[in-house]
Amino acid sequence: DNLRTNGEAFAYIVLEVPEFEDISVDYGRDIAEKLVKVVADSLVQCFGHVASIFRMYGCHFGIAKRNICSEEIVVTAHTWQNSLKSIREIDGRQVMVHGEFAFAQGFEKESVQEIVELASRRLNEKLTGRTDGSDERADLIKGYLNMMPLPYLIARLIMDDEGKNPVDIEILYANKRYCEITGKGSSELIGRKYTEVFHSTNNQKWLDIGYRAAFGEYIYSRTYSYSMKHWVNFIAAPSTSAGTFSMVFIKMFDEAKQSEEPMAEHIVNEIGSKDKLIRRDRVHGGNIFT
């Protein structure tokens, strides 16, 4: 909770050059990819090296940056849009492109998933001129999450017959990166129980984490992942439906791959000996992006 503990708020910005697909069709993929590099360079020049800039797909980018107000985002994005007007040719081929953008501030929603959805929905409305809910929007948002460079999942707790204790976790969504690292296809994960997929009985810590997140806690911590066979840093937070939670894995440690023994001392020291735990009353709102 950077806003609360360090006074640091994060914003998530999505940007797109819609002409990418047309250029790819007209001039070929190589020319289109060279356009992507030019656009990426312009984003770095405008938003700076301290921003986390990543390509989602095509010529569509996401940016996470801390302590940037809405007015500064708009001014910087307009500067980026103006820089695109100077792009007249790519590798000798004449082009004319423009950029669209939208953003969401961390304080607007309670979870990373909701912030990504909000920014993506706003951009989609700009690109399509539509403001109504639709299956297309849901598919677009799922596409954004699927192209995230970090492993991400949404899960639901399975409680015992008395409804008091968690006994398993049902995976509701897993993005492409999570599937790649675990070596499982989405069809093997979605709708399945964690114990069925990974055949692990040492799940109590993950059940406790899921229980706490599903019931309102925002957790930044480190533990061993049996699905990834790594020690991992992760963020867990309540998701949009009751009894569900989302989780993003932000760092893995190769030194501990395929070993659940305690990590080497230098790794523990790098993380810190104490977990960072944020408790929040959902009535007052909050999110793991702030």
For 208-240, the pLDDT digits (tens) are: 999 998 888 888 888 888 888 888 899 998 887
Instruction: Give me the torsion for CA of 136, 142, 143, 148, rounded to 10°.
Output: 160
Find out whether 178 and 153 touch, Cβ atoms under 8 Å.
yes
Is 70 exceeded by the pLDDT of residue 121? yes
2-146 and 152-279 share one fold: no
Q: How far is Cα 156 from Cα 162, in angstroms, rounded to an integer? A: 17
Q: 135-181, pLDDT tens digit by residue?
A: 455 555 566 677 778 889 899 988 888 778 889 999 988 888 899 99
Segments making up each domain of the chain, as ranges: 2-146, 152-279
Find out whether 114 and 240 touch, Cβ atoms under 8 Å.
yes
Is 80 exceeded by the pLDDT of residue 248? yes
Is 90 exceeded by the pLDDT of residue 43? yes
Structure tokens at 3: 């806003």
Return the CATH number of the domain spanning residue range 152-279.
Answer: 3.30.450.20
Return the CATH number of the domain spanning residue range 2-146.
Answer: 3.30.70.270
Structure tokens at 64: 């996470």
In order of 60, 223, 243, the CA distances from 204 in angstroms are: 39, 12, 17
Q: Is the pTM of this model over 0.75?
A: no
Q: How far is Cα 168 from Cα 246, in angstroms, rounded to an integer? A: 15
